[in-house]
Every structure is written in structure tokens, then in C-alpha cells.
Structure 1
Amino acid sequence: MHLHPDTVKYRLNRLRELSGWDVHTWHGLSASLLGPGLAQAGAFGPQERG
């Protein structure tokens, strides 16, 4: 798969803007890798549906 370096940079910056997770730090990297899986597994409690 080919990804242009500017695309990767944009996506990482966008992730930081939306989630506050900076993948250039240990905390941000681990949160970005583990967070979505934990959320999908329901580890953050039930979601309310409006």
C-alpha cells in the first residue's frame, strides 16, 4: 500500500485535533492503539442512545 507522507502527517495531526492524543508521546501512542479496541469491547461503560 502506498501512502503519501503528507497524507500520513495530515491524518496524525487530525487524530491529535479530534482526540487530543499525540502519537509522538508514549501516552498518546498507547491511547491511540488501545482506546478504540477498549471502546468497542465496552470497557468504558454503556453508551446512551438518544
Structure 2
Amino acid sequence: MKRQPLRLAILEAIRIFEQAGVPSPRVDAEVLAAHVLGVDRSRLPLI
């Protein structure tokens, strides 16, 4: 997998979740990213 800035990875996840019909794609993408990184979702903008 190619390295990319966190912001771009979250945007790509949002796009995929939207296409899949996920009801809250941004929240789900951010929660997933926070879990993978081991941080609270509120800290994502600091990374």
C-alpha cells in the first residue's frame, strides 16, 4: 500500500463508504483511522 497523508486516506475512505451506502461515511472513516492509529478521533487533526 502506498503511503499518503492521513487527510487523503480519510477522504478516500469517505468516498468508498459513500459508494457503499454507509449512512455516516465521514464519521466512520475518522473512527476507523483513529482506531488504527490508537488515538481519539478528536486528535486526528493534530496528526
TM-score normalised by structure 1 residue count? 0.37
**Structure with a larger share of its residues in helix:** 2
Q: Which has the larger radius of gyration?
A: 1
Larger RCO: 1 or 2 (CA < 8 Å, sep 6+): 2
TM-score normalised by structure 2 residue count? 0.39
